[in-house]
Amino acid sequence: MLGIKPLGLIAFDTLGPAQRITSRRWPPAELHGDVRTIDKAMIERWMFKYPEVSELHIWGGFPCVDLSSVKAGGKGLDGPQSSLFFELPRIINLAKETVPKHVTVRYTAENVASMQKGGCEKITDTLGVYPYHLNCADAVPMQRPRLCWCSELLEGSMEGLEFEVCSHWTEVKAVVPYPLLEDWVEPGYSWPGGEGGQTLLTALKSIARTRPPPSPAGIKRCDSDCLARYQADSFRFPPYHYLERFLFWKNDRWRLANSEEKELLLGYGYKHTSLCWPASKIKGAKRSYEDERLSLLGDSFSIFSFAIVAAALCKKFLPSVHYKAVAARMGLAPGFLAPFHCQAPLQRRLQYGSTLTNDMFSVKELNQILLTKTNHTGSDIKVTTGEILNPKAAARQSVPADWWDCQGLFRFHWKTHEHINCLELRAILQAIKYYTSHLRCSHARVFHITDSYICMSVLAKGRTGSKMLARILKQINAYLLGYNIYCILAHVESSENPTDGASRL
- 79-106 pLDDT, tens digit per residue, is 777 788 899 999 999 999 999 999 999 9
| Interval 392-419 mean pLDDT | 78
Please report which helix (H) or strand (E) contains residue 25, including its range. helix 16-25
pLDDT for res 403: 84
As a dihedral over the C-alpha atoms of residue 421, residue 422, residue 428, residue 432, rounded to 10 degrees, the angle is: 160
CA-closest candidate to residue 85, choices 146, 35, 32, 135: 35
Share of the chain above pLDDT 70, in %: 90
Cα(457)–Cα(428) distance, integer angstroms: 13
252 — phi, psi (to 5°)?
Answer: -105, 15
Would you list the domain boundaries of the chain?
10-179+300-355, 187-257, 360-504
Strand partners of residue 491 = 450
Assessment of whether the complete model's pTM goes beyond 0.95: no
| Interval 289-297 mean pLDDT | 97
Topology, domain 10-179+300-355: Rossmann fold (3.40.50)
- The answer to whether 307 and 134 have CB atoms below 8 angstroms apart is no
pLDDT tens-digit series, residues 238-268 = 999 999 999 999 999 999 999 999 999 999 9
Q: For residues 356 and 495, which has the higher predicted lDDT (pLDDT)? A: 495
Strand partners of residue 489 = 448
For residue 389, pLDDT over 50 is answered with: no
- The answer to whether 124 and 80 have CB atoms below 8 angstroms apart is no
For residue 488, pLDDT over 50 is answered with: yes
CA-closest candidate to residue 103, choices 158, 28, 32, 48: 48
Indicate the range of 297-306, 369-378, 441-450 predicted with least confidence.
Answer: 369-378
Q: For residues 417 and 178, which has the higher predicted lDDT (pLDDT)? A: 178
Indicate the range of 162-171, 345-354, 372-381, 457-466 predicted with least confidence.
Answer: 372-381
| Interval 158-177 mean pLDDT | 95
pLDDT for res 361: 63
Residues contacting 203, CB < 8 A, separation 6+: 142, 144, 262, 266, 294, 297, 298, 300
Q: Which of the residue ranges 78-82, 336-340, 365-369 has the most confident prediction, judged by mean pLDDT? A: 336-340
* Half-sphere exposure at residue 278, Cβ-oriented, CA atoms within 13 angstroms: 5
For residue 65, pLDDT over 80 is answered with: no
206 to each of 34, 199, 238, how far by Cα in Å?
A: 23, 19, 10
Cα(446)–Cα(440) distance, integer angstroms: 12
For residue 390, pLDDT over 80 is answered with: no
